[in-house]
């Protein structure tokens, strides 16, 4: 491999680190900096990659302006048996980026030209500064300043991080006058960001059968709730053959999760328009506000070039491991769905995933039928899967209420889900959930295995199959 317009090699961590990163930040496609590889592509490795990783993060945090936090990833890799570091840099939304000590001068601003970082002409510096995004969620002052962040702190603690007293400044949740910005508002315990998940009985919007709203609280929590809710709708269907039972979801769960998170992180919140999720019988549509970021083509979008619209949200979602690394989401979706699943306009991006059609068949031999193996195949399975059942089976149960059907679907989707987890998804208190669980258990639809550390087993009676 040789150096290109998007790839730079450095044999060791040197003084030129910030310059190379700034060049990629100012470049329309971003780039990747490998440390531990020389200019000819030979692997030398690093003596202490963990130490160098900490140094890199500290230097990029303190020496580059505007802040580059949320715009780079540092990934450890092993090549030729040696440790190297890969610094993935996104194209920044607030160009021109510059070295803090030199300011916005030709010495402080560089840009990638070919395989080199070159000084930026003063005319280009002035033009980029004039276009710099000022109407971003980091610069908009929150309409209310009495914000608290206990939910966000809990999520950080669960991920092994502690937010100190200066967390608002460190996470860039303050404006220049130290007021909470709109990013802080979105992440606060209480706000007015209602996220809608709608479900229709057909292939159009004429018959709405279910409308759920998540939000009015920390955006991270709302994201997790939407992920859980749609996971329930992504029910597992089963095709039975003579030799095996094949499980299949309506939509690929990996691609679906990436699409949901992408809609939250890259949504344009400046006009107070929120992402929307709609479930039809033949597809799911996920719509986020804002078209392609300025300067990014469709081809670059599909190739995974990252221009984060909300770098503050991107950083926090990465800290909480909801986002793996920059630019990984769209290529991961494309592993399962084609480019035709994406539609663009000036103001919106929509992802449409067609439901997989799975028929339930039985090719079991007559001998197996006589031996009662069909009954075994159709019975409840450990792990909460419902073998050989059509998608509508639970919906057609007449003995239980609509809410109990929702609880049963959640248990089917995740047989280890807790009472509090069910309550959080359905937005009702735990005591009510316990009553529904008791009713389902008394009616013989569920059975608890292994106590508090066990799992649920779903049992649908023969008369309901």
Q: Calculate Rg over the CA atoms of the chain.
A: 26
Task: Please state the three-class secondary structure of the chain as a single string.
Answer: CCCCCCEEEECCCCCCHHHHHHHHHHCCCCEEEEECECCCCCECCCCCHHHHHHHHHHHHHHHEECCCCCCEEEEEEEECCEEEEEEEECCCCCCCCEECCCCCCCCCCEEEECCEEEECCHHHHHHHHHHCCCCCCCCCECCCCCCCCHHHHHHHHHCCCCCCCCHHHHCCCECCCCCEEHHHHHHCCCCCCEEEEEEECCCCCCCEEEEEEEECCCHHHHHHHHHHHHHHHCCEEEEECCCCEEEEECCCHHHHHHHHHHHHHCCCHHHCCCCEEEECCCEEEEEEECCCCCCCCHHHHHCCCCCCCCHHHHHHHHHCCCCCCCCCHHHHHHCCCCHHHEEECCCEEEEEEECCCCCCCCCCCHHHHHCCHHHHHHCECCCCCECCCCCCCCCCCCCCCHHHHHHHHHHHHCCCCCHHHHHHHHCCCHHHHHHHHHHHHHCCCEEEECHHHCEEEECCCHHHC
Note the pLDDT of residue 239: 54
**For the chain, domain boundaries:** 7-131, 194-354, 366-464
Which CATH code is given to the segment(s) 366-464?
A: 1.10.10.10
Task: State pLDDT tens for residues 66-91.
Answer: 889 889 999 999 999 999 999 999 99
Note the pLDDT of residue 130: 74
For residues 288-315, give the mean pLDDT.
83
448 within 8 A of 456, measured Cβ to Cβ: yes
Burial letters 392-424, b for 16+ CB under 10 A, else e: ebbeebeebeeebbbbbbbbbbbbebeeeebbb
For residues 48-64, give the mean pLDDT.
94
434 within 8 A of 395, measured Cβ to Cβ: no
461 within 8 A of 447, measured Cβ to Cβ: no
Task: State pLDDT tens for residues 443-456.
Answer: 888 888 876 667 88
Note the pLDDT of residue 245: 52
Task: State pLDDT tens for residues 338-348.
Answer: 999 999 998 89
291 within 8 A of 346, measured Cβ to Cβ: yes
More confidently predicted of 244 and 330: 330
**Is residue 96 reached through a cis peptide bond, with omega within 30 degrees of 0 on the bond before it?**
yes
227 within 8 A of 249, measured Cβ to Cβ: no
Select the highest-mean-pLDDT range: 3-17, 370-384, 392-406, 448-462. Answer: 3-17
Note the pLDDT of residue 1: 67
Which residues, other chains included, contact 315 with Cβ-Cβ below 8 Å and sequence gap of 6+?
Answer: 69, 70, 171, 172
Distances from the Cα of 191 to the Cαs of 50, 138, 142, 186, 216, in angstroms? Answer: 39, 16, 10, 7, 5
Torsion of CA 156, 162, 165, 166, to 10 degrees: -70
HSE-up of 81 (CA within 13 Å, CB side)?
0
Query: Is this prediction's pTM over 0.85?
Result: no
What is the C-alpha to C-alpha distance for residues 270 and 185, in angstroms, rounded to an integer? 12
Q: Take residue 367 and report the two structure tokens written for it.
A: 């001998």
| pLDDT grade for 409, boundaries at 50, 70 and 90 | confident
For residues 155-168, give the mean pLDDT.
90
Query: Where does residue 2 rank: exposed (0-12), middle (13-18), buried (19+ CB within 10 A)?
Result: exposed
Instruction: Tell me which of 3.40.640.10, 3.20.20.80, 3.50.40.10, 3.30.950.30 is the CATH number of domain 7-131.
Output: 3.30.950.30
Note the pLDDT of residue 238: 54
343 within 8 A of 352, measured Cβ to Cβ: yes
Note the pLDDT of residue 127: 85
Note the pLDDT of residue 169: 92
For residues 401-415, give the mean pLDDT.
82
Note the pLDDT of residue 20: 95
What is the C-alpha to C-alpha distance for residues 253 and 183, in angstroms, rounded to an integer? 28
Q: The dihedral of CA 392, 397, 402, 405: what is its sign?
A: negative
Q: Which CATH class is domain 194-354?
A: alpha beta
Question: Residue 384: is its pLDDT beyond 50?
Answer: no
Question: Residue 112: is its pLDDT beyond 60?
Answer: yes
What is the C-alpha to C-alpha distance for residues 22 and 71, in angstroms, rounded to an integer? 11
Note the pLDDT of residue 461: 58
Flag the least confident range among 18-32, 170-184, 234-248: 234-248
Note the pLDDT of residue 435: 86
């Amino acid at each position: 491999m040789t150096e290109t317009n998007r790839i730079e090699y450095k044999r060791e961590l040197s003084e030129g680190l910030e310059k190379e990163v700034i060049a990629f930040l100012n470049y329309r496609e971003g780039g990747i900096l490998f440390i531990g590889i020389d200019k000819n592509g030979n692997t030398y490795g690093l003596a202490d990659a963990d130490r160098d990783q900490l140094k890199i993060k500290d230097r990029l945090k303190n020496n580059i302006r505007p802040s580059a936090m949320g715009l780079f990833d540092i990934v450890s890799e092993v090549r030729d048996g040696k440790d190297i570091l890969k610094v993935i840099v996104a194209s920044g939304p607030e160009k021109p980026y510059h070295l803090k000590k030199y300011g916005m001068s030709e010495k402080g601003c560089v840009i990638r030209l070919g395989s080199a970082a070159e000084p930026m002409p003063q005319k280009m510096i002035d033009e980029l500064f004039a276009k710099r995004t000022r109407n971003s969620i980091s610069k908009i002052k929150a309409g209310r300043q009495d914000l608290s962040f206990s939910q966000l702190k809990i999520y950080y603690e669960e991920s092994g991080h502690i937010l100190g007293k200066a967390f608002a400044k460190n996470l860039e949740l303050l404006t220049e006058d130290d007021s909470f910005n709109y990013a802080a508002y979105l992440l606060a315990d209480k706000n007015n960001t209602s996220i809608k998940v709608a479900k229709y009985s057909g292939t159009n919007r004429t018959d709405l059968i279910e409308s759920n709203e998540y939000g009015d609280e920390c955006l991270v929590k709302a994201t997790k709730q939407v992920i859980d809710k749609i996971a329930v709708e992504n029910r597992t269907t089963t095709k039975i053959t003579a030799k095996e039972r094949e499980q299949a979801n309506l939509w690929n769960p990996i691609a679906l999760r990436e699409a949901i998170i992408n809609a939250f992180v890259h949504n344009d919140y400046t006009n107070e328009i929120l992402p929307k999720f709609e479930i039809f019988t033949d597809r799911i549509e996920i719509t986020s506000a804002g078209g392609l970021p300025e300067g990014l083509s469709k081809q670059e979008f599909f190739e995974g070039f990252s221009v984060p619209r909300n770098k503050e949200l991107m950083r926090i979602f990465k800290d909480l491991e909801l986002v793996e690394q920059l630019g990984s989401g769209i290529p991961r979706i494309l592993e399962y769905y084609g480019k035709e699943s994406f539609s663009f306009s000036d103001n919106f991006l929509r992802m449409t995933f067609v439901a997989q059609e799975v028929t339930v068949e039985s090719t079991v031999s007559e001998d197996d039928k006589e031996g009662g193996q069909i009954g075994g195949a159709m019975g409840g399975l450990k792990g909460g899967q419902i073998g050989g059942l059509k998608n509508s089976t639970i919906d057609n149960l007449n003995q239980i209420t609509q809410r109990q059907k929702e609880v049963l679907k959640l248990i089917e989707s995740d047989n280890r889900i807790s009472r509090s987890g069910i309550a959080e998804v359905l937005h009702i208190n735990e005591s009510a959930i316990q009553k529904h669980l008791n009713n389902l258990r008394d009616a013989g639809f569920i059975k608890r295995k292994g106590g508090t550390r066990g799992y649920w087993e779903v049992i649908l009676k023969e008369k309901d199959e």
